[in-house]
Structure 1
Amino acid sequence: MHEKVILTKYFIIVFDFITKRSFAFNLLIVIAFFFVLALLFFSMLGIITKHGKHLTVPDVRGKNVKEAMAILENAGFEADVRDSIYIDSIPPLSVWVQTPEKGAEVKVGRTIYLTVNKVVAPMVKMPDLEGLTFRSAEMMLKSMRLNVGDTIYKPDFATNTVLQQLLNGKRIKPGTPIAEGSNITLIISSGTGSIENPVPNFVGLTFAEAKETLSASNLSTGTIIVDPNVTDTANAYIIKQVPARKNEIGDYNMVRAGESVDLWLSATKPAKDSVQPQPADQQ
């Protein structure tokens, strides 16, 4: 009760002081009051903003995100994870990029933004590299965050182009989901060989047998013409090939590694391999 009486008397005194003075006097009091406030604010501004106090940003790249944030906070900075990325060469949750970078001179309390490596690799669709040059295939893989693994060279007439794309030793179809950072093996054409050999005789073989012979001879399949009666291509028989085993005068036709052979398939096995041109002395 006593305190209320004192407070009431105080307000009466202040009210009388204000009301009994002229308007101009009161205006000067208000101006002086705000001037003092402004003076106090600007004098303390340096303390509030820590003006003139700078620190050197430490290097936290490669460190676990929790460790990195602790280091930055202990050094007088704020830390915030801004983005994430997947890099297969560093551990999960490691700091990949920091902004500002290490060694930068910044104010105390500045926020350092971190880009952290993801725990699980995102999935991407396997591109179609077959038929591209090696350089184009390499650039496409890089753009999709995939890596060029082994490069295997195989004779073929389309020099320096991708013949096959493999993942873990198996051929992978375009559009197949795979993890970022996967290593893709490329089979590259080395061009045709310099040594000529006689064309193998495929007539009478099944298509499956012919493909094995082609692979063993470093030859590729050219145009395949299938008889309408064929229901099982792998077990269909070769009835004609181009180039043939021998030419019209009975000499062997020659091919080089990397060249192709056209094949005609039939459901009926040829009675004999007489479809091949016979030597002139037998004609």
Structure 2
Amino acid sequence: MFRFITTRPFWVNLLVAIAIISACFALFFMSLASITKHDDIKKVPDVVGKSTAEAVQILESQGLKVSLQDSVYIDSIPKSSVLKESPDADALVKEGRTIFLTVNRAQAPTISMPDLRGFSITSAQLLLQNLGLKLEGTKYINDVAKNAVKQQLVNNAEIQPGTPIPVGTSVLLVLGNGAGNETMEVPDIVGMTLAEARDYLQTFNISIGTITANPDVTNQDEGFIFKQDPPRNNGFQKNRMKPGQAINVWLSAQDANAPKPENNDANPGENGPGV
């Protein structure tokens, strides 16, 4: 069977073997580009911001595969739009490469409404933001807890904690204005320094309002209050006010209620001996 090999000289067989091996290597390398598609390079199209359907159509038309890797929800971006692609746009890839897309969800996820009652407006706003909810606005009611959340409303209706709501929902917060329904007699702060009056009024949850100082006042905290509005008395009746309200004051460098020094410079002829 192999007589034709054994009957030929060795160098002939060697040349034939080298020729066969060279032909096999040449055929292999010629087909390598076709097998690996090395020469078929594609530039990844930019599909960020496009709808999912449009992005898939564009990528598949370029001979690329598509996989929806992840989805998030951002209410300020159109639903079902592409947020990110990997590899990035303009990257060079081979035909048939899979492009992974992150898309914006078509429907907002739901969360449980938190209980914001008793929170300060600052803390409540921060929690809403962290949960993906929006602050629609605020309104005030009479309550001694100033700027504390008293009610939480969605679509002008009170919403209970734990109620499922979509992310992005707007919440209206009802806050206390610092003024309760109970009233009290207006404190008398005339004759006090401004610093003393502030400390005294804090015990009643009352603040200092507008401050009008005379030109001789160099330090308001040390200035003396000679007038207040509202005054303590209104004729024979004492005025009343609510906690959380303010008293306007007028300041002077001198205490108007301080006793005046006696005049010792009497006329010589009044009490002295006659001439």
TM-score normalized by the length of structure 1 = 0.51
Tell me the residue number matched to 1:84: 71
Contact 1:50 1:107 in 2 (8 A): no
Residue 63 (structure 1) aligned with residue 50 (structure 2): yes
Match of 1:115 in 2: 102
Task: Tell me: CA distance 1:52–1:127, structure 2 relative to 1, closer, same or farther (3 Å).
Answer: farther
Structure 1 residues 86 and 19: alpha-carbon distance in aligned structure 2, compared to 1, 3 A threshold: farther
Match for 1:199: what amino acid?
Answer: T
Q: Secondary structure at the match of 1:120?
A: coil
More deviation, 161-170/141-150: 141-150
CA contact under 8 A between 2:44 and 2:93: conserved in structure 1? Answer: no
Aligned to 2:166: 179
1:163 counterpart = 2:147: no
1:131 to 118, 137, 141: 118
Contact 1:72 1:78 in 2 (8 A): yes
Equivalent position of 1:233 in the other structure: none
| Separation in 2, partners of 1:62, 1:184 | 29
- SS state at 1:138 partner: helix
What is the deviation of 1:192? 3.3
**Correspondence for 1:106:** 92
SS in 2 for 1:121: coil
Supply the distance in 2 between the matched residues of 1:112 and 1:77 (Cα, whole angstroms).
Answer: 7
SS in 2 for 1:127: coil
Cα gap change, 1:197 to 1:162, in 2 (>3 Å): closer
Q: How do residues 25-44 of structure 1 correspond to structure 2 at under 5 angstroms?
A: 40-41=27-28, 44=31
Distance verdict in 2 for CA 1:47–1:250, change over 3 Å: same
Structure with more helix by fraction:
1
Shift of 1:126: 0.6
Q: Secondary structure at the match of 1:136?
A: helix
Q: CA–CA distance in 2 between the matches of 1:161 and 1:84? A: 37
Inter-CA distance 144–40: structure 2 relative to 1 (3 Å threshold): farther
Residue of structure 1 in register with 2:137 after alignment: 150
Q: CA deviation at 1:170?
A: 0.9
Cα deviation, residue 138, structure 1: 2.9
**Structure 1's 250 and 81: CA in aligned 2 closer, same or farther, altered over 3 A?**
same
- The letter of the residue matching 2:183 is V
Q: Go from structure 1 to structure 2 and tell me whether the alpha carbon gap of 1:137 and 1:17 turns closer, same or farther (over 3 Å shift).
A: farther
CA offsets, 1:195-254, max 9 Å, x none?
x99829xxxxxxxxxxxxxxxxxxxxxxxxxxxxxxxxxxxxxxxxxxxxxxxx974542
- Confirm or deny: 8 A CA contact 2:147 2:178 kept in the other structure: no
In the TM superposition, what is the alpha-carbon distance from 1:74 to its structure 2 partner? Answer: 1.8
Q: Which has the larger Rg? A: 2
Aligned-pair identity in percent equals 41
- C-alpha separation in 2, matches of 1:121 and 1:51: 43
RMSD: 4.3
Which whole-Å CA distance do the structure 1 matches of 2:101 and 2:121 have between them? Answer: 35
| TM-score for both structures, normalised by structure 2 | 0.52
- Which deviates more from structure 2 when the two are superposed, residues 58-67 or residues 38-47? 38-47
Aligned amino acid, residue 186 of structure 1: L
Q: Is the 8 A contact 1:164 1:188 kept in 2?
A: yes
| Structure 1 residues 100-138: Cα deviation after superposition (integer angstroms, max 9, x where no partner) | 333x42313332212233333332111112222334323
- AA aligned to 2:93 is K
Q: Does 1:199 align with 2:183?
A: yes
Q: Which stretches in structure 2 are left out of the alignment for 5+ residues?
A: 185-235, 247-275
Alignment coverage as a number of residue pairs: 191
Counterparts of 2:106 and 2:178, CA distance in 1: 46
- Name the SS for the 1:119 alignment partner: coil
Cα distance in 2, alignment partners of residues 161 and 34 from structure 1 = 88
